[in-house]
Amino acid sequence: MRIVGAGLLLALGAIQLVPYGPYDLPAPRAEPAWDSQRTRELTVRACYDCHSNEVVWPWYSRIAPVSWLVRRDVDLGRAELNFSEPGGEAEDAAESVSEGEMPPALYTLVQGKARLTTAEVRDLVTGLTATFGGEGDGRRDGDEDDD
């Protein structure tokens, strides 16, 4: 049993040497023309860690294998929509928030700052729609009005 534990520790230590891409990101090239400061604040809080060049890397993003998963999620998120770059799928952002697809449940569980109240979801969807166009009624599927 000790050999298995020592082997596991050795393997965990060894995988720390396997990097998964750089953590530094390019400088933001653009700032959306937000409809309001509230929309920007909610977007930064709930979306920017995966959908911008302004990622705040949590401590656990430096420890493999979790670092690989975090970096993969950020890479995929930024490929889909990057608020720091012109273009992308911004018009779908309001619909994704409205339908409860974004921010992902696991992310909000780990990063409490991304948890949004029903009122904040409504404000974010309204603001994203005003800023980028698209669809969304401000409610996640299954949400009741808890204001």
Q: What value does the mean pLDDT of the chain take?
A: 83
pLDDT tens per residue across span 73-112: 999 999 999 999 877 778 899 999 999 999 998 888 888 8
> Which of 117, 98, 103, 111 has the alpha carbon at shortest distance from 51?
103
In angstroms, the Cα distances linking 112 to 10, 47, 109, 116 are 32, 12, 6, 9
Spatial contact of 55 and 74, defined as CB atoms under 8 Å apart = yes
- Structure tokens of 85? 């770059």
